[in-house]
Amino acid sequence: MNKSINLEMFSMGDSDILPSEQRQRLSTELSSRTVEDGKEFDGRRRKSSILQHEETLADSEISSISSNVISTRRASILTDLFARSSTSDSFMEKNIKPTVILALLYFKESNPDATQLRKILGQRLLDIPRFSSIFRMENNVVYCDSISKESVDLEHHIRCVKSSKEDGELSKLISNASTEWWDASRPLWRFTLITNMKDGRSLLFCKIDHAIGDGVAMLAVLRSLLDDPPAGAKQSFQHRRAAPPPLHWSHKAMCFICGCYEGIIGWAIKPKDPENGLKIPSDKSLKDATEKTFTQTRIFLLKEIKELKTKLRSSSVNDIMMAVITIGIRKYLQHKNDPVLGSIDKGTGSLQGMIVINTRNVAKHDQAVTNLGNDFLGVSFELPLQYSDEIDAVWKSKFIVDQWKISPQLFLQKKFSVRLLQMLPESALINATIESIRKPTCMISNVMGPDFECTLGNHVIDDINFLASSGLGLYLGILSYNQKVRISFATDKLANIDSSLLVECMEKAYDELQYAIINKPNEFIEPPHMTLFSPKVVGYYLPVFLAVVAAVLYYIAQSRLME
């Protein structure tokens, strides 16, 4: 049922397209669109819903639109949600800050020509209509207005400053970027070139509001900004395993049952994680989650990771790195003597992670390249912190993703969550937004960048980081670039996380996993037979699923009797 959903959330698109061709595709395709996801709004009611009837833009409202607006389109459901942090008085009164995507591009050169870089970035960015658009709210509906390129003030949007060379400079930048309000009369993006940094490099700090697009969209944008590589140079981009795993019919049946439950209602009623050393305490206000600390592990060679996953049959680079995070989190909790581990080991407790999955339809090969905006699911899952050894942690991490490939969960969750967002009034939407942040312990992203050295404006890019702002205590980002992989962390002060210890635990987790795999005498290690038929799963999901089915059948029967 979910074959059209793309689990390759953070890959950067086609493997053979040049950045200049990417820019042309984005410019041509997006310029021709006047309505974003128009089908989603057919027949929707007005009233107090956050998404109202499409005829809301009456003649009297058009007169209030700025004179430099070229075209107007209705924002999609998720774009509407993200734009409200900058356009809705209610959201701003509740201090729901804008969600932003942050891309950090390090140049080897310490002091690039800022004027030249601003010119190049301006030309390339403004070819993409979303970067010359502003958001506004009319009658509780968000609209996106395209404005002329000439009206975009590049001096404001692309700035240059000298590095303070202070310790924690990057953490301060991320903290400020995560808590600042936008001027909604301008496009919601800003790039800052920071020159002469302490390590001898310079940094292009890119801040883009989530209303402009999600992680996949912004990676497509990032790729379009790069220079074309020299003729004949290697320019391939990575792709993940997409084929569903071969499973026994009984396992598929159980995945179907669990997926129906999770996709219809389970995703909406997830419990809050218990208090633990990685989570912001429940007695702390999320309004005060304003101070972030940024750290990262040493470089892990992508070649090494691929050798590890080759030995573990049917595993992927993603499985290896997710296992590293799982092992690292457990090590950190053990170092802190966190009591939550006791309940986890007894099977009476668990911790959740949240990942974001791309839900773009991949029936057309080019769609993920030109479909900007927001088309994703935020999916919570139980961190597999109970494992027998390091290799078992890989198989359990793989098992989670494999279930999504054959389960209807993602398909159903997308349909039901979209419908719920249509129905919720703004006050309920605000409460749901705050509540959802309180539930998981951490957010995890996995960004697959180019596997070769890139340039922008003829300046060599030495390293890349990619993260999104969040109100969680811990954000973990896995990023690969130029055959190198790092794990980055953005921790909030309220969670009181020992960032240095966390980095140490992650690096040790990688070393121990690598040692365990290499020292196995087998040439290849086959995955174990893993099943959902455990007393815990069957005892929980099956009765609930049957109850849901019974309720639906009862509702249908009552509806027919009323006719």
Burial class (CB in 10 A: 0-12, 13-18, 19+), 422: middle
pLDDT at 16 over 60: no
Confidence of residue 289 (pLDDT cuts 50, 70, 90): confident
pTM of the model: 0.84
pLDDT value of position 34: 40
Q: What is the arithmetic mean of pLDDT over 280-308? A: 92
State the pLDDT at residue 243: 57
pLDDT recorded at residue 435 = 83
pLDDT band at 257 (very low <50, low <70, confident <90, very high): confident
Residue 541 confidence (pLDDT): 52
Q: Which two tokens stand for residue 434?
A: 């705050």
Question: What's the pLDDT score for residue 475?
Answer: 95
Contacts of 70 (CB under 8 A, 6+ apart): 145, 146, 147, 148
The DSSP element (H or E) to which 302 belongs, if any, is helix 302-311
> Mean pLDDT throughout 398-424?
89
Alpha carbons 425 and 428: distance in angstroms, whole number:
6
Q: Which residues lie closer than 8 Å to 563 by C-beta, 6 or more apart?
A: none
Give the mean pLDDT of 222-241: 67
pLDDT for the residue numbered 275: 95
Q: Closest Cα partner for 438 from 472, 414, 415, 466? A: 472
pLDDT in tens, 152-173: 999 999 999 999 988 889 999 9
pLDDT number for residue 35: 41
- Average pLDDT (335-346) is 95
Q: What is the set of domains in the chain, with CATH numbers?
A: 274-407+440-528 (3.30.559.30)
Per-residue pLDDT at 476:
96
> Residues near 24 by Cβ (< 8 Å), separated by ≥ 6?
none
What's the pLDDT tens digit per position in 441-487? Answer: 999 998 888 888 999 999 999 999 989 988 899 999 999 999 999 99
Q: In percent, how much of the chain has pLDDT > 70?
A: 78
- Among the listed residues 149, 122, 375, the one whose alpha carbon sits nearest the alpha carbon of residue 225: 122
Note the pLDDT of residue 204.
97
Three-state SS sequence of 159-192: EEEECCCCCCHHHHHHHHHHHCCCCCCCCCEEEE
